[in-house]
Amino acid sequence: MSDSLYTQLLDVTCGAFLLAAVIVLWRRELAAIVRVFALQGVALAALAVLLGAHEERWDLIGVGIGIGALRAGALPYLVRRALAALTEDRQGYATGGTETRETQPLVNVAASLLTAALLTLLAYAVSRPLTDLEPTPATRALPVGLAVVLIGFFVLVTRRRALAQVVGFLLLDNGITATAFLATSGVPLIVELGVSFDVLLAVLVLQILTTRMREAFGTTDIDDLRELHD
């Protein structure tokens, strides 16, 4: 693979990875958010495979394939299952309520998109010393991973639905993984496997917790649950 082709493919992959995080802020339907997260998992897997192909590292290519299976397949499937469970009441009849939408986020869509732009600029400013230290195509794309970390944290703290917050947590983890790949040209296989299994376990626990919250309180809105606590 030529250096120019590698750089172009890396730019496209990183652009798709960042765009997916921004679209999550834009969409309110939880089903659409989960689909976009799955597409971001594909972009993350493509990033790892691309780095592995450029450096001729088969272990990194294997990590990329594993990431694709987990973060574009298994994790979105688990979140979709939790979402499907939230659309039915205890007797199994569809409620058709507001549980499938993020109806009232703490920050509206326009302000969220503006914040995403500011966070991206902040990521480029903070990571500039690192990119100047070793100006390779991978390190020049490092701000993208950091921007997704910040956007994922923003989603986590501004969304009210429990499942939307789960997606924010997963965006945060995707951003950390992408940053590790771009900064170090890949992480050891055993490290990535350990982190991925931890994330899978966390999502399984959150799926069960979200379903139990719906069964017990009839909602997963954090504000409604806080009122019940008060």
Show pLDDT as tens, one digit a residue, over the chain (230 residues). Answer: 678 888 899 999 999 999 999 999 888 888 899 999 999 999 999 998 998 888 888 878 888 888 888 888 888 888 888 777 766 644 444 444 455 676 667 788 889 999 999 999 999 999 888 888 777 888 888 999 999 999 999 998 888 777 788 888 889 889 988 888 888 765 555 555 555 555 665 666 565 556 555 555 555 455 454 554 44
> How many whole angstroms separate alpha carbon 139 and alpha carbon 150?
18
DSSP secondary structure string for all residues of 89-116 = -TTS-B--SGGGB--S-SS-HHHHHHHH
Cα→Cα distances 209→53, 114, 136, 177, Å: 40, 32, 43, 25
Q: Tell me how many degrees the CA angle 174-111-37 measures, rounded to the nearest 5.
A: 25
Q: Which two tokens stand for residue 163?
A: 């499942």
* Cβ neighbour number for residue 92 with a 10 Å cutoff: 6
> How many whole angstroms separate alpha carbon 181 and alpha carbon 186?
4
> How many whole angstroms separate alpha carbon 33 and alpha carbon 83?
11
pTM value is 0.80
Phi-psi region of 185 (alpha: psi -120 to 50; beta: other; left: phi over 0): left
Question: Torsions phi, psi of 134, nearest 5?
Answer: -140, 85
Q: Which two tokens stand for residue 194?
A: 């350990």
Closest CA to 218 of 38, 97, 106, 118: 97
Task: Give the three-state DSSP class for 57.
Answer: coil
